[in-house]
Amino acid sequence: MYEVFVNERPLILTDKIVEVTDGEYFMMNEESVLKAVQGLRKGKLTKAYIYHPNLEEILNKFSETIPKVIAAGGVVTNPEGKVLFIYRNEKWDLPKGVIKKKETLEECAIREVEEETGVKKLKIENFLRTTYHVFKRNGEFRLKEVHWYAMTTNYDGKLKGQKKEGIVKVKWKGPRKIQKALEQSYINIKILFEPKRDLLNSDQ
């Protein structure tokens, strides 16, 4: 099972059909996929399920209709235990970006954090999880698959938001400010701070 968010509403890709009262089931074909995505995006649906019998193929099948974009990012912690946040589009977010050719996911995550925040001396501790959301660009839907890594750094220099990416603030935040920031963030970012949440299957 995969949990994909469309305008902050869940789209569940599943190989099981069970009786549900909180959403609508769709089959894995182009017409049904687009109907589900549009319904969630416009608020006509609050939750949707797309069924395909082969779980191993389900993400690839979905990507035939909604092409996949692979990205990576970091949850960066400093020696004081504060976490690095960026602010853009009137939301608190975490640094991430699309992978380049011949680049590993880990290299992409480090590069994007450096470019978007100015923070250096980054060290990856471990892989956290993969999140999925659908966005629209140039009139076309895309599925963004973001691979998140826990990182540490002892960098104490100036923070500098990447203007061309629309980043207007970069801040280190402690526990109290993290909770406040998450109130003005995206559901996939909130998920990263919920260690007890059941993780769905991913390709890692």
pLDDT of residue 201: 38
Q: What are phi and psi of 76, to 5 degrees?
A: -100, 130
Q: In percent, how much of the chain has pLDDT > 90?
A: 88
What architecture is the 68-192 domain classified under in CATH? Answer: Alpha-Beta Complex (3.90)
Average pLDDT over residues 167-185: 97
CA–CA separation, 161 and 45 (whole Å): 36
With bands split at pLDDT 50, 70 and 90, how would you rate the model's confidence at 179? Answer: very high
Could you report the per-residue pLDDT of 53-106, keeping only the tens digit for each?
Answer: 999 999 999 999 999 999 999 999 999 999 999 999 999 999 999 999 999 999
As a whole number, mean pLDDT of residues 37-65 equals 95
Mean pLDDT, range 143-170, rounded to an integer: 96
- How much is the mean pLDDT over the chain? 93
Looking at residue 202, what is its pLDDT?
Answer: 38
CB 85 within 8 Å of CB 180:
no
Question: Quick one: average pLDDT of 16-35?
Answer: 89
Region 110-121 average pLDDT? 98
pLDDT reported for residue 19 = 79
Give the closest residue to 86 by CA, choosing from 151, 165, 170, 188. 170
Domain boundaries, the chain: 2-65, 68-192
In this prediction, what percent of the chain has a pLDDT beyond 70? 95
pLDDT at 195: 66
